Structure 1
Amino acid sequence: MCRNAAAVFNMSYFGKFYLVGSDAKKAANWLFTANIDKKPGSTIYTCMLNKRGGTESDLTVSVLAPEDSPSVLAPDFEGDVYYLAIGGAVAQHNWSHINNVLQDKKFNSKLIDCSEDLGMISIQGPAR
């Protein structure tokens, strides 16, 4: 369908999390395979691995910058923050996995679940 024309998909069932805290960047570098050292506004498609090097999930990680007026779309935070969008079927499993890593590695970071507060649409179609 979206090979010949634009299509809009409701992706609101995805898990939507913020990874925040003074060690958020270290935690993201530990969790994700892609280089997340990008400028704010960048979104990276990546994999998340388990301690055996196996794939836990694929997801997108968006690099955010602090906002002057915090909202649910851009919460109040200090330091690095990442917005994670994870397929709905594995969102709860990945929530647990990320929190376990944060605890086991003693990263000074936390995960904030905004899945019920935010919707998500995807607009896809041919480049031209």
Structure 2
Amino acid sequence: MTDKETGSRHKAVTRSVRMSAEEHALFGEFCESLNVTPSEALRRLARSAALLGPTFTGEARAEVIALTRQMRAVGNNLNQAVHHMNAGHVIQSEDMRGHLEAVSRAIGELDRLYRSLCVKSYRRAEAAVSGRSK
């Protein structure tokens, strides 16, 4: 998803923000330097402040997409194994246990990674809003 595609999220609520002319100009320059609209920049801050996690762009987004594809592939493989077992075929329990443990570890690691990214994003937003440095 490119920066322009982030607009695909359904947005039904608006929030008005008052700022000085100087703040408006500086925020506009900031947004231009990141190649995002002011609305998208404010949404990203709001997502971080609400612990919804960061908005991934560029290389980080590509990595998240790759991880998602890998997890889907693992899910498909597990689904095939279950269908195989339901059809009466025998799968060695040691093999299945090893695969399931590996999947469980991978999911746990991804969950911890995502949670840490949400917390880091929240802390950056909190620091920005409170006026503290990161």
Do both share a fold (TM > 0.5)?
no
Structure exhibiting the larger radius of gyration computed from Cα positions? 2
Tell me which protein shows more strand as a share of its residues: 1
The two structures have a TM-score, normalised by structure 1, of 0.27
Normalising to structure 2: TM-score of the pair? 0.26
Higher RCO, Cα 8 Å, sep 6+: 1
More helix as a share of residues: 2
